[in-house]
Structure 1
């Protein structure tokens, strides 16, 4: 999978050697993983000789080297002083960084940049350790937007404060524990200040679409798709929602018509995006908006809204989709408008042509699979590249795992999609969240904290987690809102799709949650109850002896469990080898 010689050339490339990029860089030292990788990708695309790729833009940006971070650290009292301030929430560390200022030589180029960029800006972390194949640090540091309003000096000061807050995040508990867990040592922080992709549409600022893309699709939902075909996951509005475990549209690049959720209109509607994120110019906040209430207003700014959204209408026991325009009427309370992107592949063919060329080129150029973030304006066919980095796809060689003969063994769970190669033998615990109790008890966060408590109590023991819907979702109605740092001992996550309770797994490849799964080699299986090729043995879960967890919805089974998954055949199973009585030691 990796081309070592190409990979070494990629990591040795210095953007200061490029005369176009040199003026964008302030200070010395590294500009960090996000910064260097983005400029490397831009260089490769612009010199490709392919008009589709040469037209890809990066937003106006400036990059700040790690020497600035080191000088700020020294002004506080050095690394030892900063480490002595590390506490439970990082408050003291942040206060220390905010008490100082950036070096004088940083301010004039920052002022010059902001004098030319008056739209909202994003200030992003770009640490040295983020420049690695395996560890993306997704969600571990800080990236945030600023409205970029007021006098020029006020805007400069706000960006300066945000840079100092990002520096402080280097020593926040989340980042420190992540580096400690992976034995990575200390980090150095670079910074990207970037114009936010999008434009003003009335009071709201957002791009039409944003998302993530991968040159390899290692979690295929059908064997009709090849791993090397690549995959996109994107949303209407700011791409922030594409990195969370919410609703987004997923496309295979070689067959955009094949949906992970299938072709049933009801299932498409249940998996479709209904809310999108934008910057509200009135409140100056990031807001989440509902297309079901704003769709007529959106038509003012997106006359082609039907390219992205459709009306789902209930008709007896079935439903169907129709286009959205000014003449649309919503017939009843059970019908609604949602983003299905049904016409997007047909109306935006150049977008897919570009992505089919872009992702393989970046993989070839880096010597390792590619991972990108982007924003896209269909009307102008304008693609902005926001991030590009190596994609870690796990430590098990593709095709190396086969499911053994299971004759005479008790299979309690079976999946037929979105699995990768992997084997786990003799895992001593299985933790199960009963969907019936979870659905009826609104105290969702107590369930999440209960799992965290069990995880902490495990010591060095591993367990399989079986839970309804999307584990780690920020919306508890979609799944248990457990934090990833509450799953450190989890060896495998099984997400149960229970149609009658509304809990359904979703191919969230590309989210911060899945990035952590890949980095830690945590296996994953989605099981769709009642569907062919899937098995959820409810009788076993109800009859096998268990210990009640800290919440009534949580059960703990102790014994021996094995997990086998074959990515080539797209099949995975969980086997109960032995279950101990609760009183057994």
Structure 2
């Protein structure tokens, strides 16, 4: 039997779950004479103590008390305002007396309970017995204990909510049967104290404030019966949700019966009824007649003498032991010695996996595990464990493994969709997303938190069989620690001092992180079991209109098994390196281009588990990818709104940096242009794989965040486990691509097994995520993800969502009438263009001289462009940049590998294919995202095949404003007419506007 992850925790751990405690006590009318009022308010400080009790017990919204000094005043007040949740009255309250007052209230205000609070006195109790007390709902004995008032409030709230919360919400209850006002006035505060303390204990399993509030409201309730008939009725109605029964031995049979008709062994009868119905139900009997102890033992019930000097302690001990309050104790069955103590779910999971078979079998057969979970408000998990009895399994080990899986999955589910506050004492691997600090999470972390909640909201976590769609376990170091780091180490001067990236990095890495952060990280690394990605999450990053994609650094660090100190040092070094990247030259240039102030930028840090597995000292996932909900360059049957996806074997840096990847439409995953013929598959598919080097010494201080990333050839990765999920084989003799895993030959990364034969539901998941992202963000989105299929048999494969950001739509809404725009005399014309309408102040075109270009010179071209761009910046001149291949690619064989700071003055960027150098457009790269978000025009043309126009011959005939080995700048006397039509995705550059246009 499997745990139903689709229904998940329905105990209020989800915001969409049942709402507990709908009815609350918020306003109390207190009726008492001035003397009693003085005793309560001055001597007892009742309101102050109630407020303090609520604070101490982690409860919110203490009720307000309004006091009047007589019943006559109370009736006058109720005529004007009867919005009271209950009336608490003392005995001496004038005329009408308390009994007549209660009856009048019931006649006029039937919805308001009336509670009589009186000091213990035989004379008063005699009068109560002689009068008609039918208008009074409860009578309590007051001895100055404020806990009693708390208990009364909670008892009335429980009565108001019992029907819904227990029968619909699954809340547990304790049935208290007692007709002695004096004794139930003693028991009630003690019981509630135990329950509320238990409630406070199991709040440690809650991951955020919302879960804590829901847990508080799901606490066990107390049901009070003062006669046999009511006790039986309450038992029959709520028996499936009872933690146990606490009963007097002698009490009356029906409400209103005279005490003289008390049946001396009614509690014995009740115990027999319960035992016959449920032999495992805990029952505690108490009586001043100790002779009943023997009968209680025969019935398997506990017994307490009412006149015992340790009455409340014995009550507390019985409840802790039999009602599963407090820690769960695993005991040796022969000696009774405690061999394991579970304080929380994490400990319970560990002990269930390790206690001896006989101890495990005893506790499951007695429903002890499920009872403990019920008492802590973990209803669905408790119900699942109770259903899985020994008969469902062939062996104890199978039973044990099933329960461990249930607990682990439940803990993981609780950690989904919440932002937990990092607590070193309670943090565990079940918490999907936690924050260290109180500052901003930064843009990237905000996107992760949003995705985390989105997956829960739309039940994506377990939607696909044998697949977990989730975010990697994440901890965010908030921006307040960045501020403290800068301030404590005196690093403010970095903002105003000219320093190289290497100098900045050296200063930051040699500085010290704040003490509290170091202590939190120390607790975190104890839970780490694999490599970590340490990512930037600045305040500006991934925000609307300025995504800052890839501007700051992401460092990956290996896992140093058995050496937590070394792991901590690596993690701290990576965090400080990310901090330093805030002030690197590329970062400053981008911030300046986006018209932000570098002084206002603050950095949070995202720490995530890396998706993948290890082999031969290398770590990488089955595939990584970027998916976009809008496809700016659809081909064949594709439409823009169906989106586009790029994937690669190995780490995703290859994809976002513009390396060679596989492009497919999530709507038509079987139709992939790059694998449509053997020739294309051999020429255009992935030719290198990025993997993390797991040697700790490979990670060293460097401005290059890829310092410990290995670039592997296909020959090197061919024998590795991950490759078998994504590779096909080129059958040279028959010139065909074979998808058979048995064939030998050259590997080709086609992803055919996934995209054609659906061995993993990648396209379906991507479509779901993109659709939900668009719905929730109200704009096109881009997501980064990673997949691990290399898991042990029977375990779920992982789809990790790594990032989400909005796609910026800066398109001018005014479309151009292209029938009136001649293109045959244009300097540049593109049918694939992105941009923002008319640009009227550009006079310069900088282009790579076609005759000088080859793929081995791309690094040199980038260097030459860097110097030219600096001169244009000093002169305050923007320009149009034209060159072959992908601008900003990390692969120099796919284009010119410029960084952002090297082209800051480019207003239009043109990717111009050559006959010997044709490359697909750069959708899905960080460079592409940033260029388009800043309003830079972006054109893709391939003139050699009739796709667009670039008049290099005309430009070559003009004098050069400046000319280098690879680049040429041509200046025009008047501004060029540049128009990029975002509606039709066409763009044009002319020396003058066409007729009718300005």
TM-score range, shorter-chain basis?
0.7 to 0.9
- Asked if 1:108 is matched to 2:108, the reply is no
Q: Which residue of 2 aligns with 1:130?
A: 541
Q: In structure 1, what is the equivalent of residue 395 of structure 2?
A: none
Which aligned pairs between 1:304-319 and structure 2 lie closer than 5 A? 304=725, 307-311=726-730, 313=732
Q: What residue in structure 2 maps to residue 39 of structure 1?
A: 449
**C-alpha displacement at 1:555, in angstroms?**
2.4
Pair 1:173 & 2:596 matched: no
Selected match of 1:141 from 552, 561, 567: 552
Distance 1:546 1:403, change over 3 A: farther
Q: Secondary structure at the match of 1:514?
A: helix
Task: Provide, for residues 183-218 of structure 1, a one-character-per-residue CA deviation record: whole Å limited to 9, x for no partner.
Answer: 32221221111111111133321100011122222x
SS at 1:352's partner residue?
helix
1:402-454 Cα distance to aligned partner (Å, 9 max, x none): 536234861244433465664445631222212321129x5443322222333
Aligned-partner Cα distance in 2 for 1:365–1:39: 13
**Gap change, CA 1:205 and 1:470, over 3 Å in 2:** same
Q: Does 2:649 align with 1:236?
A: yes
370-379 or 320-329, larger mean C-alpha shift: 320-329
1:168-207 pair list within 5 angstroms: 168-185=580-597, 186-207=600-621
- Tell me if 1:516 matches 2:930: yes
2:566 aligned residue: 154
**1:89 and 2:503 matched:** no
The 1:513–1:402 alpha-carbon spacing in structure 2 relative to 1, beyond 3 Å, is: farther
Secondary structure at the aligned position of 1:220 is classed as coil
Contact 1:562–1:577 (CA<8 Å) still a contact in 2?
A: yes
Deviation, 1:372, is 1.5
- After superposition, the Cα gap between the structure-2 partners of 1:303 and 1:87, relative to the gap in structure 1 and judged at 3 Å, is same
Choose which of 673, 688, 692 in structure 2 pairs with 1:275. Answer: 688
Superposed, 1:194-273 pairs within 5 Å as 194-217=608-631, 219-222=632-635, 224-259=637-672, 263=676, 265-273=678-686
Query: How far does the alpha carbon of each residue in 1:435-486 deviate from its partner, in whole angstroms, 9 at most, with x for none?
Result: 321129x544332222233323332322222211222223333222333222
Whether the aligned pair in 2 keeps the contact of 1:547 and 1:556 (CA below 8 Å) is yes
Task: Note closer, same or farther for the CA distance 1:567–1:59 as it changes in structure 2 (3 Å cut).
Answer: same
Match of 2:463, SS? helix
Q: Which residue of 2 aligns with 1:334?
A: none
2:766 to 348, 352, 355: 355
Distance in 2 (CA, whole Å) between partners of 1:347 and 1:26 is 43
Q: Tell me if 1:373 matches 2:787.
A: no
1:465 aligns with 2:881: yes
1:323 to 739, 750, 774: 739
When structure 1 is superposed on structure 2, of 544-553 and 515-524 the one drifting more is 544-553
Instruction: Please list, as runs of the form range in 1=range in 2, the aligned pairs for 1:48-127 lying within 5 A after superposition.
Output: 48-50=458-460, 51-52=462-463, 55-77=468-490, 79=492, 81-84=493-496, 86-127=497-538
Measured at CA, do residues 353 and 294 of structure 1 come closer, stay the same or move farther in structure 2, by a change above 3 Å? closer
**Distance in 1 between residues matched to 2:934 and 2:442, nearest whole Å:** 22
**Relative to structure 2, which stretch is displaced further, 27-36 or 361-370?**
361-370
Q: Among 897, 914, 933, which residue is 1:481 paired with?
A: 897
For the pair shown, which has the larger CA radius of gyration, 1 or 2? 2
2:921 is the alignment partner of 1:507: yes
- Do the aligned residues in 1 keep the contact of 2:455 with 2:470 (CA within 8 Å)? no
The residue number in structure 2 matching 1:12 is none
In the superposition, relative to structure 1, how do residues 222 and 55 fare at CA in structure 2: closer, same or farther (>3 Å)?
Answer: same
Structure 2: 5+ residue stretches without partners = 1-206, 212-417, 422-433, 699-707, 791-795, 994-998
Q: Does 1:575 align with 2:990?
A: yes
CA distance in 1, matches of 2:971, 2:992: 11
- Where in structure 2 are the equivalents of 1:382-421 lying within 5 Å? 382-393=798-809, 395-397=810-812, 400-403=815-818, 405-407=820-822, 410-417=825-832, 419=834
Count of aligned pairs between the two proteins: 543
Structure 1: runs of 5+ lacking an equivalent: 1-14, 331-336, 579-585
- Give the C-alpha shift of residue 273 in structure 1: 0.7
**Given the superposition, is the C-alpha separation of residues 419 and 188 from structure 1 closer, same or farther in structure 2, using an over 3 Å criterion?**
closer
Q: Per-residue CA shift, 1:214-234, capped at 9, x if unaligned?
A: 2222x2233743332122111
Q: Distance in 1 between matches of 2:902 and 2:693?
A: 33
SS in 2 for 1:384: strand
C-alpha deviations, 1:312-338, integer Å up to 9, x for none?
7498xxx643336343235xxxxxx33
Please list the CA deviations of residues 89-114 of structure 1 after superposition, one character each: whole Å capped at 9, or x if unmatched: 14444444334322222233322221
String of CA shifts for 1:499-521, please: whole Å, max 9, x gaps.
3x2x2232221212112211221
Per-residue deviation, 1:572: 3.6
Q: Deviations over 1:271-312 (max 9, x none)?
A: 2111011123357431011113442x13x45444xx444427
Q: Does 1:437 align with 2:856?
A: no
Q: For 2:967 and 2:988, how far apart are their aligned partners in 1?
A: 21
1:346 is aligned to 756
**2 CA distance for matches of 1:260 and 1:454?**
38
Counterparts of 1:265 and 1:536, CA distance in 2: 31
TM-score normalised to structure 2 length: 0.51
Distance (Å, rounded) in 2 between the aligned partners of 1:328 and 1:99: 52
Moved more, 467-476 or 250-259: 250-259
Is the Cα contact below 8 Å between 1:98 and 1:165 reproduced in 2? yes
Partner of 1:288: 711
1:501-553 C-alpha deviation (Å, 9 max, x unpaired): 2x2232221212112211221112222233244344454355x3131744233
Which is helix-richer, 1 or 2? Answer: 2
Tell me the C-alpha RMSD between the 2 structures. Answer: 3.0
Distance 2:659 2:616 in 1: 26
Q: 1:167 to 1:329 in 2, by over 3 A?
A: closer
Which is worse superposed, 164-173 or 36-45? 164-173
Distance change (3 Å), C-alpha of 1:553 and 1:105? closer
Distance 2:572 2:800 in 1: 25
TM, length-normalised to structure 1: 0.84
8 Å Cα contact 1:201/1:301 also seen in 2: no
Alpha-carbon offset, residue 56 of structure 1: 1.5
Q: Deviations over 1:25-82 (max 9, x none)?
A: 2111112111122011111111213543894212122111222122222212363x44
8 Å Cα contact 2:729-2:745 kept in structure 1: no
Task: Indicate the residue corresponding to 1:164 in structure 2.
Answer: 576
SS across alignment from 1:430: strand
Indicate conservation of the 8 Å contact 1:269/1:312, yes or no. Answer: no
Greater strand fraction, Structure 1 or Structure 2: 1
Q: Which residue of 2 aligns with 1:453?
A: 867
User: In 2 relative to 1, CA 412–16 (structure 1 residues): closer, same or farther, beyond 3 Å?
Assistant: farther
After superposition, the Cα gap between the structure-2 partners of 1:343 and 1:419, relative to the gap in structure 1 and judged at 3 Å, is: farther
Residue aligned with 1:56, SS:
strand
* Separation in 2, partners of 1:483, 1:490: 12
Mapped to 2, the partners of 1:107 and 1:576 lie a distance apart of: 61
